[in-house]
Structure 1
């Protein structure tokens, strides 16, 4: 009986070591194929971690410095992933990087900006960026970034799929919260004139109640992103103009906005332009 009890204890410890070891092994990077995009599962929908996807109070974002979400073939862009959740001190992530649905593979070149906190993975025709063990500890949030160089030949839109783990640091599968997000960058049409000299922006009238208008001269033919921001810097309206055309007129609907001062920003390959107006009843 004593030997039987010892055997049961030994087997229990062995199984605990297996499951705990599996959870700890992901501290040095997620396994390839867990981004949640392009037909892939996430760690919430596979055997890595328990819990429903995007069910927690945290936020996962992925952004780039490509103007207006448009990339130029051959140029290099910074991609930033941020995972935040109050009370969490260990974080992880994985990005399926620059996946082109047109050719069904990752395109371009990836460069790590911090090789101590991130690393590259390759699985077949797909490329990934994930965390290292040094890139997991933070107070309430963690942020990772990397560079992507677009291929010289156009491959259409590219997608970045990211899954993030806000971990409770208990060393096993339970209690962690998994999030997913994506970013799409649109290719600048080949042969497009990216900008003309001295673009100008005018928003009128300066005081408006129901509608305002923007007039952009010398806009070039590159795509533009138009943002309307409140006094707190929050984007309350977003428009994309693709392609822009050299002379642009657009109506801004103010019916859903509270009274106050608003700022209009236009982002494109020619830089940043801004103007403001006042909404009144």
Structure 2
């Protein structure tokens, strides 16, 4: 019997970068979690968003939704007066792993760097490529990657090659768009989930020795519950307060994905 599953992805374009006074961006200074302690004022004096400029992110010429595996154009623009400008960005899923992929459309002023298993896109040379805007393509993830956050940050620099006089600007744009597929996806997770028709609880066995994010969505893409497994042999999801209906169970252990449809009877 065929089953339906739904992938729900949220892309937040969050500009929180610091450390831009070199001509090239530093990959791990995008301010992205988990575990970051970077703050823009550590690389530059002043307060974030205290200048007269701004930074804007445009998704697919004003688009507000997407489909899985599709390619979209991302434009980043820094407004205001500056000698040089720069940016750095990284797209992460809820486990802190890269989500989707980046295609460079202008290798003269953008580049991809890798650090600690993550790929970042940034300006290439702020001193020779004087610009306040950049464009690249983002390829939406394959099935079952869950929510995605796209961290982006921009610096309007005075060109002094020091940590004073530069302006850091931040913004946030959220894009949503569920994709629909056929059949259950388990992509390498050897677990048991039961019962698929439940009244109060769902049991998950087989997540021992690995941390996992477990999410429950309504069929329309609304997140209703989120859990974190710390490696327990068995987890019990208490879902007695949910209304009767169809829900999507999504499990991600950082390397593998499981998603399937479950039914609450009453």
Decide whether the 8 Å contact of 1:119 with 1:132 is kept in 2: yes
Distance in 2 between residues matched to 1:143 and 1:162, nearest whole Å: 13
Root-mean-square deviation (CA, aligned residues, Å) is 2.9
Cα distance change on mapping 1:187 and 1:78 into 2, 3 Å: same
Aligned equivalent of 2:48: 53
Distance 1:118 1:70, change over 3 A: same
For structure 1, list consecutive stretches of 5 or more residues without a partner in the other structure.
1-21, 193-220, 224-281
In the alignment, structure 1 residue 182 sits paired with structure 2 residue 182: no
Aligned residues: 165
TM-score by length of 2: 0.54
> Following the alignment from structure 1 to structure 2, what is the Cα–Cα distance between the partners of residues 23 and 161?
15
Q: Which moved more, 1:142-151 or 1:33-42?
A: 33-42
SS in 2 for 1:45: helix
Counterpart pick for 2:71 among 67, 76, 101: 76
**Residue 169 of structure 1 pairs with residue 162 of structure 2:** no
Structure 1 residue 169, shift from structure 2 partner: 1.3
Higher relative contact order (CA 8 A, sep 6+): 2
Q: How many angstroms does 1:174 deviate by?
A: 0.9
Distance 2:118 2:172 in 1: 16
The question of whether the paired residues in 2 share the 8 Å contact of 1:73 and 1:154 is answered with no
Deviations 1:159-218 (A, max 9, x none): 2111111111122211111122334332413249xxxxxxxxxxxxxxxxxxxxxxxxxx
Structure 1 CA distance for aligned equivalents of residues 138 and 20 of structure 2: 30
Q: Does 1:143 align with 2:100?
A: no
Q: Which runs of 5+ in 2 are unaligned?
A: 1-18, 183-218, 222-266
Q: Which has the higher helix share?
A: 1
Alignment check: 8 A CA contact 2:68 2:179 kept: no
Determine which structure has more spread, i.e. the larger CA radius of gyration: 1
Q: 1: distance between equivalents of 2:20 and 2:72?
A: 33
What secondary structure is seen at the aligned counterpart in 2 of 1:130? strand
Instruction: Write the distance in 2 (CA, Å) between the matches of 1:186 and 1:66.
Output: 15
**CA distance in 1: counterparts of 2:62 and 2:156, whole angstroms:** 30
Please report the TM-score for the alignment, with normalisation by the length of structure 1.
0.52
- Cα 1:67–1:100, aligned 2, differ >3 Å: closer, same or farther? farther
1:90 Cα deviation after fit: 0.8
In 2 relative to 1, CA 42–79 (structure 1 residues): closer, same or farther, beyond 3 Å? Answer: farther
1:100 to 89, 93, 99: 93
